Structure 1
Amino acid sequence: MIHPLRPLLLALALVSSAAAAAPAPVHGDTLEQVVLLSRHNLRAPVVASGALANATPERWPDWDVGAGELTTKGGVLEVYMGRYMGQWLRQAQLLPPWDCPQPADFHAHANSLQRTQATAQFFVAGAFPGCHVAVEQRMPLGTMDPLFDPVIHRDHAAFRARAVSVMQQALSASDLAPALSVVEGITLYPQSAACTGRSNCHLALADTTFSAEPGKEPRASGSLALASGLVDALLMEHYQGSGIPREGWGRLTTEAQWHALAQIRNRYQDILFGTPEVARDVAAPLLARVNVLFEDPASPKVSLLVGHDSNIGSVLAALGITDYTLPGQYEKTPIGGLLQFERWRDRGAGEVRYRLVYVYPTREQLRGAIPLTDAQPPGRVELVLPGCGPSGCSEVQFERLLHRALN
């Protein structure tokens, strides 16, 4: 059974321990407002146990939480991120230096699943130890909040046909056959129950089909979806760490293999949620919320929205941001990572600038449960917003960018 690496109490104790302050964000400007869009932290694999079990003759490790639920280690890691971000925001003088935040300072809203609600609560515990800060939950636990539900909204046959066609074209342009072979070699897929009675049984892109039905997530079926689920399980086990003496049953041993697995996972997400028209449709509720938060003078200085990789991926694609790398990470939308929308004001000219930064834990920080400090900071990559300069977007440019993404 996979057990937590460290008890949660250790993380909570470390919150109050001495740690280097986070660096000042930007000199010469004043940070006025931040909207954080976060992916939940470490969870158990979400693919149905039958599909995983049938895809390999090996036995998968057991988990001490239910499928898709945040692990204890995931809570530890999120406490670290919350502590670091709380220090960073105080250093920027956006949050009170010592007092607990008031509603005008901070608000958290998470999807209504266990892993997202728990992630937000652990972030709050790290950022504001000893404070009572509620996390908004709009739907019954276990159901999707419409704000975070990455579903198709447009009910038009022509749109659905275009979406499926674009997904198929993206798949055809992907050279994933070598990576699928790596998955086969690690899982011994041809020897699995899924291949019983089938000759020449392999993971092949030719059997992959797509759907884009209104009210449902964009979906793939066939080998690509199965391979993505297998890779997800291997990644979650890698990050969980403890209790797994030999990764991939001793057959996952090289960086080249990990990069092949990441290629499958990243490309799968890109095909489903990264095509521009689909991304704009799926991400519309979250982008509209970001727009309202920045436009409404009554919005809190810091807003935390906790959702999923599909939320982050679709938001980035809708904004036109597709070509970026996150040093030290396998995934394009890593667990525990967050998009940081920032509004700055020049102290001299008074001009407003918007910036977008990806803040994320590296794979070593996840695997080793390394506390995030000034000496061991999370990764931080400033993303280039289309149509804007290297210092970010002016107010007009940012409004234009959001308008294009929402239409």
Structure 2
Amino acid sequence: MICPLRSLLLVLALGMSTATATAADEQLQQVVLLSRHNLRAPVVASGALANATPETWPRWDVGAGELTTKGGVLELYVGRYMGQWLRQAQLLPATGCLQPGDFHAHANSLQRTQATAEFFVAGAFPGCHVAIEQRMALGTMDPLFNPVIHNGDTAFRKRALLAMQQALAASDLAPATSVLEQITRYPQSAACTGRSDCHLVLSDTTFSAEPGNEPRASGSLALASGLVDALLMEHYQGSGIPREGWGRLNNEAQWKALAQIRNRYQDILFGTPEVARDVAGPLLARVDVLLNDQASPKVSLLVGHDSNIGSLLAALAISDYSLPGQYEKTPIGGLLQFERWRDRHSGVERIRLAYVYPTTAQLRNAQPLTEAQPPGRVALRLPGCAARGCTVAQFQRLLHPAAR
């Protein structure tokens, strides 16, 4: 058991109603959920982030990168809401524990992802024993969720690096980095010692796309993204961080500027189409198998990371979307929801995709997700498909573009 509070939180998983009803002419057949882990501690205790500000970062009660106690509570709310949504949609039994073939969970082999899966299950299926698949030793990346480059071809590497460089060149992040410098007091930090005119200049950024490794950036872009990530985690932590940004981060315009850095960083590294298809290849294959194998569970939960969700969306050519109430494009606790529906009359099946996510306010204020306060839900339009979703054949062409 990774999260010792699970048994204490099970009592919270009772008594919630959900707002979604199944359409009269369609029946939900299957759901595949790809989740980002919930609230974790940032990595600021030492190294570049610690040296990038003269201020002292707040202390956290868990290790760097680990799911926090509040993150467990927030994920339990997500699981509780989704469990009741799936029951109301008549995909899972209305009462009692699960039957064989109903549900399967597989999480990356890190503390924050395994713990997230445990809290989801505790919320969705209180009092029931549901195993979480862990394929690797704790602390070791599972190949399914490891967002690494697989293609070792030199020409591919050159195209990938060029695409990243072009994406950076097309980004106007100077106003946003100026806001970040003011909040962190970067020019007065240890990183700027001995430099009279020290700033986060994105032109110093270099990229790498080596097989077996994640796409990476070094220089100011990576540092700025890491600083924003740490500030976002503190924001979600809420009451434990009384003076955000050491008292200098206090309005919506600042948050929108910071989010632009973080979102653009993810898009540059994982959002170019060819890189995305390569990095997300294992997850795309898993989704393909789950949605086409008659032996697949009715509900599958895959718990990974923002890079998994971002690369998978880019691989499916879904880039132009927004999540109302959220700063991040791939927020913590958010779920990509692949749904397979069958028309009751014609028998035709369609695949739909939605992003279900806690809003920033729900995360910060630890609001339970209920019928009165549901999570955000945005239907994502799959390219080449009607608003009501893709036919199975159309979805197959999205998953296998080379076969078109």
Q: Give the TM-score normalised by structure 2.
A: 0.97
- Tell me, yes or no, if structure 1 residue 57 matches structure 2 residue 31: no
Name the structure 2 match of 1:182: 179
Alignment check: 8 A CA contact 2:10 2:127 kept:
no
1:37 aligns with 2:34: yes
Seen in structure 2, the aligned counterparts of structure 1 residues 280 and 356 have a Cα distance that, compared at 3 Å, is same
Q: Does 1:271 align with 2:268?
A: yes
- Could you tell me which amino acid in structure 1 is paired with residue 275 of structure 2? V
Tell me what 1:281 maps to.
Answer: 278
CA contact (8 A) 1:232 1:265 kept: yes
Residues 366 and 11 of structure 1: CA distance in aligned 2, closer, same or farther (over 3 Å):
farther
Partner of 1:227: 224
Please tell me whether the aligned partners of residues 108 and 134 of structure 1 are also in contact (alpha carbons under 8 angstroms): yes
Structure-2 separation of matches of 1:382 and 1:46: 33
Residues 1:202 and 2:192 are matched in the alignment = no
Preserved contact between residue 22 and residue 84 of structure 1 (Cα < 8 Å): no
Q: CA deviation at 1:339?
A: 0.3
Give the corresponding residue for 1:107.
104
- For each residue in 1:166-206, what CA deviation from the matched residue of structure 2 results, as whole angstroms up to 9, or x when unmatched? 10000000000000000000000000000001120000111
Aligned to 2:389: 392
> Which aligned pairs between 1:6-405 and structure 2 lie closer than 5 A?
11-16=9-14, 18-46=15-43, 49-404=46-401
Describe the shift of the 1:40–1:389 C-alpha distance in structure 2 as closer, same or farther (beyond 3 A).
Answer: same
Cα deviation for residue 289 of structure 1 reads 0.2
1:11 to partner: Cα distance: 4.4
Mapped partners of 1:175, 1:34: distance in 2: 38
For residue 101 of structure 1, report the CA deviation from its aligned partner: 1.1
What is the deviation of 1:28?
A: 1.9
> Which residue identity lines up with residue 385 of structure 1 in the other structure?
L
Provide closer, same or farther for how the CA distance between residues 266 and 28 of structure 1 changes in structure 2, counting only shifts above 3 A. Answer: same
Mapped contact 2:16–2:84 kept (Cα < 8 A): no
1:132 to partner: Cα distance: 0.4
Q: Hey, what's the Cα distance between the residues in 2 that align with 1:59 and 1:111?
A: 32
Letter in 2 for 1:377: P
* Amino acid across the alignment from 1:330: Y
- CA contact 2:103–2:297 (8 Å) conserved in 1: yes
Give the Cα–Cα distance (whole angstroms) in 2 for the partners of residues 331 and 405 of structure 1.
Answer: 31
Q: Is the 8 A contact 1:39 1:306 kept in 2?
A: yes
Deviation (angstroms), 1:294: 1.1
Answer whether contact 1:33 1:343 (CA < 8 A) is retained.
yes
Q: d(CA) in 2 for partners of 1:93 and 1:338?
A: 20
For the 8 Å contact 2:290–2:296, the answer to whether it is kept is yes
Q: Deviations over 1:306-344 (max 9, x none)?
A: 000000000000000000000000000000001000000
Q: Deviations over 1:199-240 (max 9, x none)?
A: 200001110000000000000000000000000000000001
Q: Structure 1 244/47 Cα, relative in aligned 2: closer, same or farther at 3 Å?
A: closer
Q: Distance in 2 between matches of 1:243 and 1:90?
A: 35
The separation in 1 between residues aligned to 2:403 and 2:161, in whole angstroms, is 20
C-alpha displacement of 1:46 = 3.2
Could you tell me whether the CA contact under 8 Å between 2:381 and 2:387 is conserved in 1? yes
Q: Secondary structure, in 3 states, of the residue corresponding to 2:47?
A: helix
Segments of 5+ residues of structure 1 without an aligned counterpart are 1-6
Paired amino acid for 1:81 = V
Residue aligned with 1:49, SS: coil
Indicate if the aligned counterparts of 1:138 and 1:145 stay in contact, CA closer than 8 A.
yes
Question: How far is the alpha carbon of 1:13 from its aligned partner?
Answer: 2.3
Structure 2 counterpart SS, 1:178: helix
Q: How far, CA to CA, are the matches of 1:115 and 1:145 in structure 2?
A: 13
- Confirm or deny: 8 A CA contact 1:319 1:405 kept in the other structure: no
One-letter amino acid matched to 1:12:
L
Contact 2:340 2:349 in 1 (8 A): yes
TM-score, length-scaled by structure 1: 0.96
1:280-314, CA deviations, whole angstroms, 9 ceiling, x for partnerless residues?
Answer: 00000000000001111000000000000000000
**Does the 8 A contact of 1:284 with 1:406 survive in 2?**
no
* Aligned residue in 2 for 1:4: none
Q: CA contact under 8 A between 2:176 and 2:260: conserved in structure 1?
A: yes
Q: CA deviation at 1:160?
A: 0.6
Percent identity of the aligned residues? 79
Distance 1:9 1:292 in 2: 34
Change in Cα spacing, 1:405 to 1:241, as seen in structure 2 (3 Å) is farther
Aligned length in residues: 400
Q: Which whole-Å CA distance do the structure 1 matches of 2:299 and 2:65 have between them?
A: 28
